[in-house]
């Protein structure tokens, strides 16, 4: 395994020109599976992490539990790891700095921090302070600033693009490395975002969204599956349980990763 500093430099470089494709993981096993499939980096999904730790998504788990999981994933894989830390696990900019510092000490190469708050968004100036604190706490990390304007449907649809671009500029000025805009996948709008943001653009993808190559042509530097992989995995668990309990059959667990292949991913 290369040093944490080398992995962080590599993670920054993977965005240029990109796109960096991230099938998000939520525990050590899923991170190892993603790495074995050929991913060049691992990013966690906060929703999947929370669910696996027995909590709902949305800042409901303690910072130390999230950081502990990041450390476990970093120790298990040989590629850069980016940690989704929700809104930063705290109400103040100082709290965000403490979280980012702990994640960096755990060996992560990047963090994802969102600006959503309730059904809307945190005040842009306040959020910029949070990104500034994150950058000051760990200036080497890749700070992915998530802007929830489209995801949460904030404000007038006619000015949503402009609102997003304005926030992106403020966050980059505060020290963010890249911008994540979930909730939009139409290539025209994505292209406008890529043109208007002076940093790598990350979008959230899933079934029905354009292919990675199409996003690349639109100027996107990073595509993420977010919680979709975890949701699909839990859907298999539900189907298997329902089939066994109602029909007494087991077809839902066909085509799983063989025990030996999965077990071999773990260090002895």
| Segment 22-43, tens digit of pLDDT | 999 999 999 999 999 999 999 9
Backbone angles phi, psi at 260, to 5 degrees: -65, -40
135: CATH:
3.20.20.60
What is the tally of structural domains in the chain? 1
- Residue 243: inside a domain, yes or no? no
> Tell me: the pLDDT tens digits for 201-218?
999 999 999 999 999 999
Give the residue carrying structure tokens 């992106």. Answer: 168
Task: Give which of 154, 146, 149, 153 is closest to 114, Cα–Cα.
Answer: 146
Residue 99 has pLDDT above 80, yes or no: yes
pLDDT category at 2 given cuts 50, 70, 90 is confident
- Residue 135: inside a domain, yes or no? yes
Backbone angles phi, psi at 142, to 5 degrees: -85, 115
- Residue 252: inside a domain, yes or no? no
- Residue 258: inside a domain, yes or no? no
- Residue 256: inside a domain, yes or no? no
Paired strand residues for 20? 222
Domain span holding position 220: 4-227
Task: Give which of 185, 174, 116, 110 is closest to 146, Cα–Cα.
Answer: 116
- Residue 235: inside a domain, yes or no? no
- Residue 265: inside a domain, yes or no? no
> Tell me: the pLDDT tens digits for 164-203?
999 999 999 999 999 999 999 999 999 999 999 999 999 9
Confidence (pLDDT) at 265: 97
- Residue 245: inside a domain, yes or no? no
> Tell me: the pLDDT tens digits for 106-162?
999 999 999 999 889 999 999 999 999 999 999 999 999 999 999 999 999 999 999
Those residues with Cβ within 8 angstroms of residue 236's Cβ, 6 or more apart along the chain or in another chain = 252, 253
């Amino acid at each position: 395994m290369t040093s944490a500093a080398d992995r962080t430099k590599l993670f920054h470089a993977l965005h240029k020109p990109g796109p960096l494709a991230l099938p998000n993981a939520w525990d050590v096993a899923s991170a190892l599976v993603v790495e074995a499939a050929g991913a060049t980096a691992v990013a966690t999904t906060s929703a999947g992490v929370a669910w696996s730790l027995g909590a709902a998504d949305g800042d409901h788990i303690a910072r130390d539990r999230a950081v502990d999981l990041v450390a476990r994933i970093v120790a298990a894989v040989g590629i850069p790891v980016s940690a989704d830390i929700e809104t930063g696990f705290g109400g103040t900019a100082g709290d965000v700095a403490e979280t980012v510092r702990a994640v960096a000490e755990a060996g992560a190469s990047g963090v994802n921090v969102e600006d959503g708050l309730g059904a809307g968004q945190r005040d842009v100036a306040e959020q910029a302070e949070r990104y500034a604190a994150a950058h000051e706490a760990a200036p080497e990390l890749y700070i992915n600033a998530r802007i929830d304007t489209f995801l949460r449907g904030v404000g007038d649809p006619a000015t949503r693009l402009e609102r997003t671009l304005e926030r992106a500029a403020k966050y980059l000025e505060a020290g963010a490395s890249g911008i994540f805009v979930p909730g939009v996948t139409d290539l025209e709008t994505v292209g406008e975002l890529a043109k208007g943001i002076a940093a790598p653009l990350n979008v959230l993808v899933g079934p029905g969204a354009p292919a990675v190559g199409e996003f690349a042509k639109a100027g996107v530097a990073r595509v993420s599956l977010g919680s979709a992989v975890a949701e699909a995995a839990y859907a298999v668990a539900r189907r298997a349980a329902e089939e066994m309990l109602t029909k007494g059959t087991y077809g839902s667990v066909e085509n799983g990763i063989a025990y030996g292949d999965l077990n071999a991913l773990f260090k002895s």
